[in-house]
Structure 1
Amino acid sequence: MAGVVHHGAVTQRRGLQSVRDMVLSLAVVFAFVGVILAITLRQTPDPIKVIDASSVRAAVTSNSPYRAVAVLPSELPGELSGWRITSARASAPGDSPFAWHIGYFTSTGTYAGVDQSNASAAVLRRDEQVSGATAGTTRVGSVRWQRIEKVDGTRRWLLRTQSGVTTLIVGTGPWGQLEQLARALKPVTQPSGS
């Protein structure tokens, strides 16, 4: 080809521009990826909503026609440390039967709860949707509890009725965890200074 002159300097400069453009493009892409990672890897708040059960404690100590037993956070023994109250409710004054509930998110990521009522065991089982088969009994201290387990094994209950009061412990964890909760139950009293 006659008349075509190759200038090596222009070709070399054009090559450097291509490398520079590629580096700038990669920098923009990495900056974009960095922003996306910073947004998605930000620490998210704890999804477990912890509640204060002091109003339920007050309602139970003031209104319960029976001697209630429960475990509140300030009273959790060492093996239950890290458990957090996520649900609590009590019947209104004068309700018959009188019932209350406290639910916990355990340190192992399972659910456990205590329900107590002066309703019959059959009524409490219905109200709390206990649907399982009897799985024998267990003794916690000197107290015998009936074991009930959902057919698919995802939920367990310990049930006992004494002096017309039914106590139900429910959980998604192992039997041992429910037995620890049963062992920790203490009479509910008005906190000091109330």
Structure 2
Amino acid sequence: MRGRQTVRDMVLSLAVIGILVGAIYIFIPHDESADAAKNAVKTVDYRVELITARRAAPYAVAAPEGLPKTWRATSVSYKASEDGKGGAWHLGLLDPEQQYAAVEQSDAVPRKFIQEVTLGAAKAEGKQAVGSKKWDRYKGDKYNALVREEPGVTTVVTGTAPYGRLADLAAALVAKKS
């Protein structure tokens, strides 16, 4: 019988395969809701890294206090510089609208550091009022940013979130040294 298969046999085979694929799709759970997308990004606890950074950094390390629970930390790191005199603090978060925002701090050369963490954003017109302080605005193709340069440390709040959300994060920052 070999070589005598017909188009009818091929169509029947494809139908059986299609039924099997359909059954697998129906019975294997898959969740495409907004909650699934929200839960796809892992939340991290940054308390230990924050304590470590505050002990190691030569500047007061800033972290948010009092943000609503709808803000979720997703990444955290502190990298000491090779000479041991400073380093870079990073805390990445998702805002309530699932937009990315990050706190970046360093005692490195401000211009280079700002370009690096904002992915090449350029200084924009105007300032952003955050509490009693004025922050410089930066606008980029990927990230917007609010930047505050102080003696010994540059703080950047950057991400895909709009300036208003970045300002909310900046307003919640409390800088401490252990």
Same fold flag (TM > 0.5):
yes
In structure 2, what is the equivalent of residue 62 of structure 1?
Answer: 55
1:144 and 2:137 equivalent?
no
Greater displacement, 41-50 / 62-71:
41-50
Equivalent residue pairs, number? 154
Q: Within 5 Å, give how 1:95-106 maps onto structure 2.
A: 95-106=84-95
**What is the aligned-residue identity percentage?**
29
Cα deviation, residue 40, structure 1: 4.7
Give the greater-gyration-radius structure (CA).
1
**1:77-134 CA distance string (max 9 Å, x none):** 23xx311111111123863332211000222111000011112311312442541222
User: Letter of the aligned partner of 1:92 in structure 2?
Assistant: A
In structure 1, what is the equivalent of residue 158 of structure 2?
Answer: 170
SS in 1 for 2:154: strand
Cα contact 1:155–1:171 (8 A) shared by 2: yes
Please give the alpha-carbon distance, in whole angstroms, between the structure 2 residues aligned to 1:82 and 1:171: 17
Cα deviation, residue 42, structure 1: 5.3
Please give the alpha-carbon distance, in whole angstroms, between the structure 1 residues aligned to 2:26 and 2:176: 49
- What is the TM-score of this pair, normalised by structure 2? 0.74
RMSD: 2.6
- What is the TM-score of this pair, normalised by structure 1? 0.69
1:119 and 2:111 equivalent?
no
Please give the alpha-carbon distance, in whole angstroms, between the structure 2 residues aligned to 1:129 and 1:189: 25
Cα deviation, residue 174, structure 1: 0.9
Choose from 168, 171, 174 the match for 1:180. Answer: 168
Please give the alpha-carbon distance, in whole angstroms, between the structure 1 residues aligned to 2:117 and 2:25: 45
User: Letter of the aligned partner of 1:90 in structure 2?
Assistant: Y
* Runs of 4+ residues over 3 Å off in structure 1: 31-35, 40-45
Cα contact 1:157–1:169 (8 A) shared by 2: yes
Q: Which runs of 5+ in 1 are unaligned?
A: 1-28
User: Letter of the aligned partner of 1:59 in structure 2?
Assistant: T
User: Letter of the aligned partner of 1:37 in structure 2?
Assistant: I
